[in-house]
């Protein structure tokens, strides 16, 4: 049966069902293509990145990590075989979080490959690729070339192995990763805190004990960690490892209240995203976390005499640019998606970046995202003053948001235009921009509100986010926009899906 990589290679990574879409054969072809596009660009594919060759040996090198999925070892071996056949050395770091792989790529100055499907079910696996220094590889920065070259190998044949193949070595970097993160946020002097950590049977079950406790041989911290689902299990027997879904936070919320903890932390399957629950069991919005962590990074940068820049995507709360600008930062608004955030981070030399999806990016972490570093900042914020987590969240979350609401529509463009026509007629002073979908803003006048409508790239969905200065206004704008979006030509409502 012919293999088609078009449905496997996404905009930012590789992800699919094992073995129907992602098999060892496919992994080997992708490894061979990665070698030639990113690691050895002069050997056969157009690419700007000759510095990607690892400097640690005469041969270029790649570092590979994986999450706890059962399919990981076989896929890693196949991918590594594609690399070594091209003359590339491979360093296997074994089980790690995605930000652990980014750490390895940055610390070793080598391109990297992380085998994970994040929060997807057990039958899935995938690959996140990066250049040396954890620089992202996406559709426009090499991933499309890798897909096309690998497709050619699958349709025809793999290239002949070089005379001197690369070598494979193993290296444990967990303690180095934990020590590096601790060097960026010092928790040794905070007041004692009790924190419940929900690893969701994902990789935080490995990294949280290393960073927050003493599993990696580091000194103890004034933290009483209550573990939830730390057992590494790629079948996710307790709940989906996707804390963005409120149903997956229920166990953590209950445990925080039952243990009278100061806060709770939840991580997704590959532990690159972090979610926060306050002492009352309430979910803290990623926008509030963005503002809180951003303020810490801004304060640190201002102490050096430099003006810091912070990146945020366009559907984070208006509180983020408001609070950080007031603190002395320059804020830059960008499209939704980590490739856009990372590009803007590097372009502006930004100290920090945040997304509504709970991805947090740090200049001091090679401009890459790390949920564990964000968690350390949150713990520092709670532990260095007397406010509770809920009180801090209230300070950083002054407005009311709808969350993201998906509507199934047959014609996203027509639905969007219907909304714009109605709002232009009702509010002549609105501001409309098209940075990502359409954002309609009435923020400079009262009542204050804004909303964004974005069409999905892969499904017939329109995604709505609304924010307002109070609950009643938010609900009115939300309901009015949804009514317009879901109205068909004959006046009937189209389908809906809310998340």
Q: Which of 71, 118, 317, 357 is catalytic?
A: 118
> Is residue 453 helix, strand or coil?
strand
Quick count: other Cβ atoms within 10 Å of Cβ 163?
6
Q: Where are the beta strands (DSSP E) in 160-222?
A: 168-170, 193-198
Q: To 10 degrees, the CA torsion angle through 452, 99, 246, 459?
A: 50
Q: Is the distance from CB of 81 to CB of 38 less than 8 angstroms?
A: no
Quote the tokens at residue 362: 């740090």
Helices (H), 349-470: 371-383, 389-396, 412-426
Quick count: other Cβ atoms within 10 Å of Cβ 102?
29
- Please state, in angstroms and rounded to a whole number, the distance separating the CA atoms of residues 348 and 489: 45
- Please state, in angstroms and rounded to a whole number, the distance separating the CA atoms of residues 496 and 490: 17
Q: Is the distance from CB of 62 to CB of 134 less than 8 angstroms?
A: no
State yes or no: is 118 an active-site residue: yes
Which single residue is written with the structure tokens 């709670």?
382
- Please state, in angstroms and rounded to a whole number, the distance separating the CA atoms of residues 67 and 275: 19
Enzyme catalytic residues: 118
């Amino acid at each position: 049966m012919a293999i088609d990589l078009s449905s496997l290679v996404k905009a930012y990574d590789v992800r699919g069902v094992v073995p129907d879409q992602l098999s060892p054969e496919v992994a080997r072809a992708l490894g061979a293509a990665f070698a030639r596009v990113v690691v050895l660009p002069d050997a056969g594919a157009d690419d700007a990145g000759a510095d990607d060759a690892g400097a640690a040996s005469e041969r270029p090198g790649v570092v590979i990590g994986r999450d706890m999925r059962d399919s990981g070892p076989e896929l890693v071996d196949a991918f590594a075989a594609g690399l070594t056949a091209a003359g590339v050395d491979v360093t296997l770091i074994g089980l790690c979080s995605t930000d652990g792989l980014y750490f390895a790529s940055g610390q070793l100055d080598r391109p990297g490959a992380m085998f994970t499907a994040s929060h997807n079910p057990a039958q899935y696996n995938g690959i996140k690729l990066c250049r040396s220094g954890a620089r992202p590889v996406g559709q426009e920065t090499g991933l499309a070339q890798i897909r096309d070259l690998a497709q050619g190998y699958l349709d025809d044949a793999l290239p002949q192995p070089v005379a001197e193949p690369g070598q494979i070595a193993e290296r444990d970097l967990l303690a180095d990763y934990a020590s590096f993160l601790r060097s960026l946020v010092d928790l040794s002097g905070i007041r004692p805190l009790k924190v419940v950590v929900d690893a969701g049977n994902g990789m935080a079950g490995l990294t949280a004990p290393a960073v927050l406790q003493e599993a990696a041989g580091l000194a103890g911290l004034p933290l009483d960690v209550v573990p939830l689902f730390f057992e590494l299990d790629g079948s996710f027997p307790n709940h989906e490892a996707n804390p963005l879904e409120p149903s997956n936070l229920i166990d953590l919320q209950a445990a925080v209240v039952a243990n009278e903890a100061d806060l709770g932390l939840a991580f997704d399957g590959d532990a690159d995203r972090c979610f926060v629950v306050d002492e009352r069991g309430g979910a803290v919005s990623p926008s509030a976390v963005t503002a809180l962590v951003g303020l810490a990074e801004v304060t640190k940068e201002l102490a050096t005499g430099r003006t810091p820049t912070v990146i945020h995507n366009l559907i984070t709360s208006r509180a983020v640019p408001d609070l950080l600008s007031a603190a002395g930062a320059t804020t830059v608004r960008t499209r939704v998606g980590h490739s856009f955030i990372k590009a803007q981070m590097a372009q502006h030399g930004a100290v920090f970046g945040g997304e509504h999806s709970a991805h947090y990016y740090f200049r001091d972490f090679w401009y890459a995202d790390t949920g564990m570093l964000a968690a350390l900042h949150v713990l520092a914020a709670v532990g260095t003053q007397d406010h509770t987590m809920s009180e801090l969240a209230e300070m950083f979350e002054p407005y009311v948001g709808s969350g993201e609401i998906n509507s199934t529509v047959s014609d996203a463009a027509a639905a969007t235009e219907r909304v714009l026509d109605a709002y232009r007629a009702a509010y002549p002073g609105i501001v409309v921009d098209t940075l990502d979908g359409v954002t309609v803003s009435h923020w400079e006048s009262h009542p204050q509100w804004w909303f964004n409508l974005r069409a999905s790239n892969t499904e017939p969905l329109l995604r709505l986010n609304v924010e307002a200065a109070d609950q009643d206004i938010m609900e009115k704008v939300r309901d009015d926009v949804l009514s317009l979006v879901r109205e068909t030509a004959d006046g009937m409502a189209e389908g809906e899906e809310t998340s």
